[in-house]
């Protein structure tokens, strides 16, 4: 029986190793890019949006409470003014606070981009309309005048 040996050219091994390395590296690089986009959306943007929404609810409740408290102590004739401070930003993003009167429903809207929260002001919307807007920067003022503005 005659045995034949099959031999390969040593240059072929080097080329196949290089091609394997390039293909494998390319696939891993593509996977890394996909993971980076997913990590940003899942682990950074999602929790930041959740934090922002709940912080907006807290800010709106605080402003609503201040407005109702001011309404309780408001004089029949005259005016009253108070300053308050709210956070400058939430999760590194600025936001807008609006007092909106829609029919008899008084609402405080806190928003930034797609994140919005709406908090109703208990019971004073039908008797006294509250309007205006502010941002978180600096001191904010709530003013009441029995004559109106």
- Residues 111 and 60: beta-carbon distance below 8 Å: no
What whole-number distance in Å separates Cα of residue 11 and Cα of residue 68?
85
Write out pLDDT tens, residues 108-135. 899 998 999 998 886 665 566 777 888 8
Question: What is the residue-averaged pLDDT of the chain?
Answer: 83
Confidence of residue 18 (pLDDT cuts 50, 70, 90): confident
User: According to the model, what pLDDT value does residue 72 have?
Assistant: 82
**Strands 96-102 vs 132-135: parallel, antiparallel or unpaired:** antiparallel
What is the C-alpha end-to-end distance of the chain, expressed in Å? 112
DSSP one-letter code for 29: H
Q: In 3D, which of 91, 93, 86, 87 has the Cα closest to residue 47?
A: 91
**Is residue 103 pLDDT above 80, yes or no?**
no
- Residues 99 and 111: beta-carbon distance below 8 Å: no
H helical segments located in 1-149: 10-39, 46-73
């Amino acid at each position: 029986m005659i045995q034949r040996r099959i031999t390969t050219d040593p240059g072929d091994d080097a080329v196949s190793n290089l091609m394997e390395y390039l293909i494998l590296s390319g696939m891993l690089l593509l996977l890394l890019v996909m993971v980076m986009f997913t990590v940003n959306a899942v682990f950074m943007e999602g929790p930041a949006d959740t934090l922002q929404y709940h912080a907006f609810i807290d800010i709106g409740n605080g402003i609503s409470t201040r407005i109702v408290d001011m309404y309780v102590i408001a004089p029949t004739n005259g005016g009253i003014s108070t300053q308050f401070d709210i956070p400058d930003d939430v999760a590194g993003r600025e936001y807008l606070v609006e007092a909106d009167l829609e029919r008899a429903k008084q609402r405080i809207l806190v928003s930034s981009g797609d994140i919005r929260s709406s908090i109703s002001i208990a019971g004073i919307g039908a008797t006294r309309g509250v309007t205006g807007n502010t941002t978180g920067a600096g001191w904010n003022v709530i003013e009441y005048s029995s004559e109106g503005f």
